[in-house]
Structure 1
Amino acid sequence: MAIFREKDVFERRDAANAAKRAMLEKFKAKPAADDPAVVAKQAERKAVLEARAIRQAEKEKQKQERLAREAEERATREAAAEAERLAAEEAAQADAKQREAEENERIARLLSDEVERKAKRDARYAARKSRVGRTPPGFSG
């Protein structure tokens, strides 16, 4: 079985220096801005960004169209509901007017019947009075 051995200060320092040198070499090995590979990569990134912007604009356009369509449908539904409400209100008013007319007709019929009854009663009284030919006691006529 292997025994774990800790690194001493010198080994750690050498490892850190080696890592720093590797990073420096990597940075120095980085291609310049006018390198064809870098230019190609930048062009690719630019194309991806433009495509993303086009997709985003299309998505926004579709969203606006959808919102406009929904607003139009909502306005149509509200107009239909308003028209239906007005029609129901007019029907209720017409029904109320009809009931009022029927009630007035019934009242007029009752009043005319009452007038006829009074006229018949008065006619009976007058006929009785004319048949008798004399004034009953207590009446002065």
Structure 2
Amino acid sequence: MKNSRDTDLAGRRTAAQEAKAALLQAYKAAQEADAPGRAARLAERAAISAAREARRAEREAAKLAEKQRLEAEAAERAAAAEAEARAEIEAREAAEASRIARVLEDEAARKAERDRRYAARKARKN
């Protein structure tokens, strides 16, 4: 506001209104002058946002793929452990069956030897 000789209330009020109107006109002029630059900035922001969203989607896809790979590896390890446990149980059962078979064979051989000795003793007595 320039130094004016009107210092009464009405003069100050009109000067303030004129200053506000001048500021509003300057703002509107700046907005109109900056319209092409604004459009370019908005387009740039949209491109940056789209690129950011694409990178986020790519990261999520990579995380999902990694999670699936880890789950597949865990399932594979679990299956291998289960197969190993099954093989160990089968080997233990086979060893037990073999031991039982040897015990039965030994028992049969012992009985056969006893029967042979008994038959030989009977043959000597007669």
TM-score (norm 2): 0.79
Per the alignment, residue 42 of structure 1 pairs with: 35
The aligned counterpart of 1:138 is none
1:86 and 2:75 equivalent? no
Moved over 4 A (4+): 32-35
Deviations 1:66-90 (A, max 9, x none): 1101111111121122112211211
How many equivalent pairs are there?
119
Q: Which moved more, 1:122-131 or 1:61-70?
A: 122-131
Which position in structure 2 is the counterpart of 1:9? none
Which sits farther off after the overlay, 38-47 or 91-100? 38-47
- Aligned letter for 2:18? E
1:103 maps onto 2:99 in alignment: no
The one-letter amino acid of 1:115's match is A
Q: Aligned equivalents of 2:75 and 2:11: distance in 1?
A: 82
Give the alignment's Cα RMSD to 1 decimal: 2.7
State how far apart, in whole Å, the 1-side matches of 2:121 and 2:35 are: 127
For residue 34 of structure 1, report the CA deviation from its aligned partner: 7.9
Larger radius of gyration: 1
Q: Letter of the aligned partner of 1:63 in structure 2?
A: R
Q: Which residues of structure 1 form unaligned runs of 5+? A: 1-12, 134-141
Alignment deviations for residues 9-37 of structure 1 (CA, whole Å, 9 cap, x no partner)? xxxx94x983x4344112322328984x4
**C-alpha distance in 1, partners of 2:15/2:97?**
109
Cα-to-partner distance string for 1:86-137 (whole Å, 9 max, x where unaligned) = 112112111211111111011001001001101111111121122122xxxx
Cα shift readout 1:40-78 (whole Å, capped 9, x = no counterpart) = 223333322222221111101100001101111111121
Which structure carries more relative contact order (alpha carbon 8 Å, separation 6+)? Answer: 2
TM-score, normalization by structure 1: 0.71
Q: What is the aligned-residue identity percentage?
A: 42
Q: Distance in 1 between matches of 2:57 and 2:82?
A: 37
Q: 96, 100, 108: which is aligned to 1:115?
A: 108
Q: 5+ residue gaps in structure 2?
A: 1-7
